[in-house]
Amino acid sequence: MTPELMIDACNLRHAYSHGAMVEPVLHGINLRIRRGEFVVIMGPSGCGKTTLLNLLGLMMLPTQADRLEIAGVDTRSLSDAARTRLRREAIGFVFQRFNLLPTISAYRNVVLPLHLRGIQPDGQAAELIRRTGLQELAHKKPAQLSMGQQQRFAIARALVGRPSLLLADEPTGNLDSANAEAVLSLLREFHRDWGQTIVMITHNEHLTVAADRVLRMCDGRIIDGA
Amino acid sequence: MLRLAWANLMHRKLRTTLSVLAVGIGIALLLVSKGLANGSIAEVNQRMQSVDAQLVVLPAQENILFTNGAPFPGVFERLLARQADEHGPLATAVIPVFFAQVRMGGQQQRVFGVDPRQMSLFLGSRRVLEGRAFDQAFSMAEKTAELRRPTTQIVEAESLPPEILEAGLELIIDDRLRRVGEFDAASGTNRPYRIGDEIRIMSRGFRIVGVVETGVAGRVFAPIQTLREILNGGEPWSTMFFVKLRPDLDPVAAADRFQSVLGQQARVELKTEYGKLLHESFAQVNMYMTASSGLALVVCFLFILLTMYTMVLERTREIGILKALGMTRLSLLSLSISEALVVSSSGALIGIGLAYGARYVLNVLRPLLTVELPLSLLAVALGLAVIGGGLSALYPGYRAARLEPAVALTCE
């Protein structure tokens, strides 16, 4: 893998098992993404976009892969603990449903990745929240926030540990157009300032304007942009 | 970690409260039953130790708790007495006791039938607070000794002249029983006993003639001659004996000597061993009580396990989030255990509070019961709660730790 590659996947295959029934979802994905690249993945529902993102985020193991390197690490032989460590230190997630923990405040959600790394939150976390423009709401629980506000806190949480790879699964899917624009602006802003690699799934063609590259998937294959 | 555990518990306040209460009730049950058993044994033992004697002669049965009636015929007293006069080889006093059950102070009481002339051996340093330590019973004792000499003639039961028996219808009670008193229907409350009160027991009217400091061997004393006349046709049988040894004797050797004199029908023990004997006699009851409360505690911990397991099922998505953010399996297991420990240790503290509350209530409703809650027992309860809570969380924690983040995140 060349040093400038953040993701290098070759012949990535995945199938879900439902008892005796096996449902193939990804059929030999070949994908290379450079460090600092902003890539958007598009495709119809059920084409395997989220599965691909979960595999890239080490959230599950592929059924088969000739190569799957993330941030220069060959992930195929990693133990669960090593995959967890790599995920904690190198990867940030933004989900369609925000996935903030409902039991703690928005601020505690944002600084949670730091606590998991054993780092005490410093001014940078507060600065990140300030840049989302929601510092006055940081003490509130997620249920007390609008969906747009929750997603902005979720982005702050994904970025607080300065991961080199940010994976976003339809981050604007549950938002109205104004909030979707705000979230996209935020992503672009952080991408410009910090230069993270971003891989974002979306159905929204308008959001592709921010991307360096657009991958199109269909039936478990990348059909364009690889 | 603890902050997150606390937040999770506070997010489901009702369930957390119920779990804490479940543990609390289990712990309280354990503490009160053990405290009651230990308290009763300790109190009886302490009372027995107050008698100015070194040996106890008990019937040769396994369980001394249920020693009642008169298993020792008069020959035992005579055998013992031969060893026991001022110039006797072993003892300076043999103290026969005759137990009877009566109802006083709202519950069953064991009456210590003792010879009024030996009452000082039971009082020791404890004072007579009111009245006297027997009054006319002394003369009754003297007259009975005359009338009840061993004879070959058959005498009728209760053939003692009524005026002599009348003199022996006296009771001495301890201060704790005096304060509890008897329910007074007129006022609707308990009225403390007073000197001169007539108590109807054993179909006779006994007078309270003295109140002694709490801590003496019995809560109620009556002349042994009276009890023998009423319950045993005047036959000089006894329930047990205390033996006061000559000061220069080794108690263990003396006990062996007495044992050889009395044979297999009696067991001679050091008075200091009485507590151990009580514990041995109480062992089966104690085991039953411990098993019952232990079972209740196990049910409580199963309740925690169920709670934690339900929480894992409910929070599958949250667990997925934590795993996606990089929380390790060990940390997830620790989180689950931390939550269970917060629940179980809070439950233990509540249980200790409940146990103290129960002790207070028992003290009001049944003032003669003693519930002992020593620090060691509280520490054991706390330890059990912590260990039980931790174990209860292991399986749910393991389930949480094993979840694949991508799968967990798809859960609703």
- Average pLDDT in the A123-151 region? 89
Q: What is the pLDDT of residues A38-64, one digit of tens each?
A: 999 999 988 999 999 999 999 999 999
Smallest CA–CA separation between A207 and chain B, in Å?
25
| Residue contact B329–A80, C-beta within 8 A | yes
Token duo for residue B234: 């005047």
Compare CB distances from B406 to A54, A104, A117 and report the shortest one's residue. Answer: A54
Better-predicted residue by pLDDT, A138 or B144: A138
3-state SS class at B8? helix
The answer to whether B236 and B77 have CB atoms below 8 angstroms apart is yes
- List all residues 6 or more positions away from A219 whose beta carbon is below 8 Å from its beta carbon: A27, A47, A48
Whether the per-residue pLDDT at B348 is higher than 60: the answer is yes
Please tell me the pTM assigned to this model: 0.74
Whether pLDDT at A3 is above 60: no
Pairing of β B107-114 and β B220-223: parallel
Contact status, residue B269 vs residue B49, Cβ threshold 8 Å? no
The Cα A151–Cα A94 span in angstroms is 8
Whether A144 has its CB under 8 Å from any CB of chain B: the answer is no
Contacts with B, A 76-105, CB within 8 Å? 80-81, 84-85, 87-89, 93, 95, 99-104
Partner residue opposite B321 with nearest CB, options A54, A80, A99: A99
Residue at token pair 């997010």: B11
Of B236, B207, B212, which is closest to residue B222 (Cα–Cα)? B207
Residue B71, CB half-sphere, CA atoms under 13 Å: how many?
Answer: 16
Determine the pLDDT at residue B315. 80
Instruction: Output the DSSP codes for B234-279.
Output: T---BSEEEEEEPTTS-HHHHHHHHHHHHGGGEEEEEGGGHHHHHH
* Token digits of residue B105: 């102070």
Q: Which residues in chain B have their CB less than 8 angstroms from residue A87's CB?
A: 324-326
**E strand or H helix at B404:** none
Segment B222-233, tens digit of pLDDT: 999 999 888 888
Joined tokens for residue B301? 């911990």
Higher per-residue pLDDT: B186 or A30: A30
As a whole number of angstroms, the longest Cα–Cα distance in chain B is 100
pLDDT digits (tens, 9 = 90+) for B259-271: 888 888 888 888 8
Q: For residues A13 and A26, what is the distance between their CA atoms, to the nearest angstrom? A: 5
User: Looking at A19-23, A221-225, B159-163, which range is the least confident one?
Assistant: B159-163
Contact by Cβ (8 Å): B199, B206? yes
Question: Residue B323 and residue A84: Cβ atoms within 8 Å?
Answer: yes
- Which tokens in the block code for residue B212? 């002694």
